[in-house]
Amino acid sequence: MSSRFHQLLPMLLLLSVGVSAVEVQRPRGVPLSKRQFYEEGKPFTCLDGSHSIPFDRVNDDYCDCQDGSDEPGTAACPNGSFHCTNAGFRPAFIPSSRINDGICDCCDTTDEYNSGAACQNTCREMGHKERESLQKMAEIAKEGFVLKQQLIQEAKRGIEDKKAKLVDVQVVKKDLEEKVEALRTVKETAEQPEKEAKERHLKAWEDQKALIRMEKDKARMAVVFLELDDDADGLVSVSELLSHSELDPDSDASFTEAEAQGLLGGVDKVDTEAFEAVWNNLKEKYVSEVTTYTAAPVETPPEEVREPASDNESEQYPEDDVQEDEEEEDEEDEDDDQDDADYKVNPLIPSFAFRYIYRLCPFNRVSQKPKYGGSETNLGTWGKWAGPEENVYSMMKYEHGTGCWQGPNRSTTVKLTCGKETVVTSTSEPSRCEYLMEFTSPAICGEPPSRDSEPRDHEEL
Partner 1 sequence: MASALVLWLAVYLSGTWAVDKGNFKTCDQSSFCKRQRALKPGESPYRALLETMELTNTRLTLQLINDNNKVHLLLELYRLQGNITRVKINELKPLKPRYEVPDVLIREPPTEPLSLLSQDENGVVLSLGVESQRVIISARPFRLDIVEGHEVLMSLNSRGLLAFEHLRMRKDTQADPEPEKKEEADPDNQAETAKEEEEKVEEGMWEETFKSHSDGKPNGPSSVSLDFSLPGVEHVYGIPEHADTLRLKTTDNGDPYRLYNLDVFQYELYNPMALYGAVPVMLAHHAQRTTGVFWLNAAETWVDISSNTAGKTVFGKMLDYVQGSSETPQTDVRWISESGIIDVFIMLGPTPKDVFSQYASLTGTQSFPPLTSLGYHQCRWNYNDQEDVQSVDAGFDEHDIPYDFIWLDIEHTDGKRYFTWDPHKFATPKEMLQGIMDKKRKMVAIVDPHIKVDSNYKIHNEIRSRGFYIKNKDGGDYEGWCWPGSAGYPDFTRADMRAWWASMFAYDQYEGSMENLYTWNDMNEPSVFNGPEVTMHKDAMHGDWEHRDVHNLYGFYVQMATAEGLIQRSGGVERPFVLTRAFFAGSQRYGAVWTGDNAAEWDHLKISIPMCLSLGLVGISFCGADVGGFFKSPSTELLVRWYQTGAYQPFFRAHAHLDTPRREPWLFGPENTALIRDAVRQRYTLMPYWYLQFYQAHHTGQPVMRPLWVEYPQDPATFALDDEFLIGRDLLVHPVTEEGVRGVTAYLPGKDEVWFDVHTFQKHNGAQNLYIPVTISSIPVFQRGGSIIPRKLRVRRSSSCMEHDPYSLYVALNPQRTAEGELYIDDGHTFNYEKKEFVHRRLSFANNLLSSVDLAPDAQFTTHSWIERIIILGASKPSKVTLKTADGQESHIDFEFDASMSVLTLRKPGMNSGADWTVMLQ
By CB under 8 A, name the binding residues for partner 1.
1, 4, 60-62, 75-76, 78, 95, 97-98, 101-103, 312, 314-317, 332, 336-341, 343-345, 347-349, 351, 353-354, 404-408, 428-434
Question: By C-alpha distance, which of 122, 130, 114, 74 is closest to 97?
Answer: 74
Question: How far apart are CB 397 and partner 1 at their closest, in Å?
Answer: 14
Q: Mutual orientation of helices 272-282 and 194-228 as an angle, nearest 10°? A: 110
Question: How far apart are CB 159 and partner 1 at their closest, in Å?
Answer: 42
From CA 413, how far away is CA 426, in angstroms rounded?
Answer: 12
Taking residue 410's Cβ as centre, other Cβ atoms within 10 Å add up to 24
**Of the two residues 134 and 353, which places its CB atom closer to partner 1 in the complex?**
353
Question: How far apart are CB 76 and partner 1 at their closest, in Å?
Answer: 7
From CA 439, how far away is CA 397, in angstroms rounded?
Answer: 12
Question: How far apart are CB 356 and partner 1 at their closest, in Å?
Answer: 14
β-bridge partners, 14:
21
Rg (the chain; Cα; Å): 34
Q: Which residues contact 144 (CB under 8 A, 6 or more apart)?
A: 418, 419, 420, 441, 442, 444, 445
Q: Mutual orientation of helices 123-189 and 194-228 as an angle, nearest 10°? A: 170
**Of the two residues 105 and 229, which places its CB atom closer to partner 1 in the complex?**
105
**Of the two residues 170 and 431, which places its CB atom closer to partner 1 in the complex?**
431
Question: How far apart are CB 62 and partner 1 at their closest, in Å?
Answer: 4
From CA 414, how far away is CA 365, in angstroms rounded?
Answer: 11
From CA 86, how far away is CA 457, in angstroms rounded?
Answer: 11
Question: How far apart are CB 415 and partner 1 at their closest, in Å?
Answer: 13
**Of the two residues 95 and 158, which places its CB atom closer to partner 1 in the complex?**
95
C-alpha 192: how far from its chain's center?
69
**Of the two residues 364 and 427, which places its CB atom closer to partner 1 in the complex?**
427
Question: How far apart are CB 27 and partner 1 at their closest, in Å?
Answer: 18
**Of the two residues 63 and 147, which places its CB atom closer to partner 1 in the complex?**
63
Question: How far apart are CB 250 and partner 1 at their closest, in Å?
Answer: 38
From CA 332, how far away is CA 179, in angstroms rounded?
Answer: 70
Sign of CA dihedral 300, 301, 303, 307: negative
**Of the two residues 427 and 440, which places its CB atom closer to partner 1 in the complex?**
427
**Of the two residues 273 and 313, which places its CB atom closer to partner 1 in the complex?**
313
First to last CA, the chain: 33
**Of the two residues 46 and 345, which places its CB atom closer to partner 1 in the complex?**
345
Residue 44 phi, psi (nearest 5): -95, 130
Question: How far apart are CB 407 and partner 1 at their closest, in Å?
Answer: 4
From CA 429, how far away is CA 315, in angstroms rounded?
Answer: 18
